[in-house]
Amino acid sequence: MVDLATRETKHRSGENRDSYLDNIKETCTSIFEGMAVTFSYLFRPPITTQYPDRMPVSVQDTLPDRYRGHLYVHMDTCISCLLCEKACPIECIKIEDVRIEKIMITAADGKPTPKVKEPTLFNINMYKCMYCGLCVDPCPTGAIRMTKEFEGSTENIQNLHFRFITPERRAMAIRLGEEQERKAAEKKKAHAAEAPAAKVVPTQTVADAKAAPPVEASAAAAPAATPPVPRAAAPSGENGGSASDATPVPAPNPPAAPTTPGGNVTNAPPGRPDEPGAA
Ligand code: SF4
Ligand code: SF4
């Protein structure tokens, strides 16, 4: 703080007067410099952009290729894999779909891709979106992409809730889904009808096995099924009945049949020693 004594001294010496004039000079110079810059623009071509109605080229054309604007989904190439929905960190995307008969579509890169689902709802909340692009990267067909559209000013925020499925497309998708469901049900029914037919044999076998006698009983019945021993020498019944009427007798162990020198089988009873002179 300049004390009064010092100021008085300067005033007397005329120093204060010079300083005052310097200030006036400085002010005039700066005003002149400022006005010179301002007036210079009167003679330059205008650079103001009259957006959006008086543009020589659209603003989108002036944006870089990788600009992240509003999202767009090409529904014909979307296979409803839900990868974009899962990738979004703030759940902007909502997809619903139905299963349809498999068709082949051409992805954005020209690759043929199978499509087995058709979206019935595909909404993106652009007013919530933070334009991170994480949903675009995993898309296998390139259906979802960021455009250069940036204009989001609107009177109703719901205008920024993008719905990519029109009511007509939704109706068509539902119809395709119902058709596919019907076909799948018919296929399942046909499959179920074929399955028992294939299982008939094992089922009957089990039933037969249950109806069959126990192993012991079968074993007991087995000798009856053995072919009868030839009984050429068996005596006929006393009442003149045939051999078949006779009470079955245990079949003797057939001895080695002695033969005559002529080769004929002897009629000697079994077990009877053959006498050399009997022939
Ligand atoms: S750009 Fe980011 S925030 Fe926006 S929908 Fe895609 S993943 Fe979500
Ligand atoms: S990632 Fe691509 S193909 Fe899969 S649902 Fe999203 S837009 Fe469709």
99 C-alpha to ligand 1 centroid (Å)? 26
pLDDT tops 80 at residue 262: no
CA–CA distance, 180 with 257 (Å, rounded to integer): 82
**SS3 category, 115:** strand
CA nearest to 127, candidates 106, 150, 101, 157: 157
Q: Is 139 in the pocket of ligand 2 (CB under 6 A)?
A: yes
Atom of ligand 2 nearest to the CA of 141: 3
Averaged pLDDT score across all residues of the chain:
76
Q: How far apart are CA 6 and CA 34, in angstroms?
A: 36
Q: How high is the pLDDT of residue 14?
A: 64
| Nearest ligand by distance to the CA of 160 | 1
Ligand 1 touching residue 92 (CB < 6 A): yes
Helix (H, G, I), strand (E, B) or coil at 148: coil
For ligand 2, is residue 144 a contact (CB within 6 Å)? yes
Q: Given a cut of 60, is residue 21 above it in pLDDT?
A: yes
What is the per-residue pLDDT for 105? 94
In this prediction, residue 111 has a pLDDT band, given cuts at 50, 70 and 90, of: very high
Cβ-based neighbour number of residue 138 at 10 Å? 13
Bigger pLDDT: 48 or 247? 48
Fold of 63-173: Alpha-Beta Plaits (3.30.70)
Of 142-151, 195-204, 255-264, the range with the highest mean pLDDT is 142-151
Q: Is 132 in the pocket of ligand 1 (CB under 6 A)?
A: yes
Q: What are phi and psi of 195, to 5 degrees?
A: -60, -50
User: Is the separation of the CB atoms in 70 and 127 below 8 Å?
Assistant: no
Rounded to the nearest angstrom, the distance between the alpha carbon of 127 and the centre of ligand 2 is 20
Residue 9 has pLDDT above 60, yes or no: yes
Tokens of 72: 């767009």
pTM of the shown model? 0.58
Q: Per-domain residue ranges for the chain?
A: 4-40, 63-173
**What are the pLDDT digits (tens) for 180-206?**
999 999 999 999 888 776 665 555 554
- Confidence (pLDDT) at 211: 52
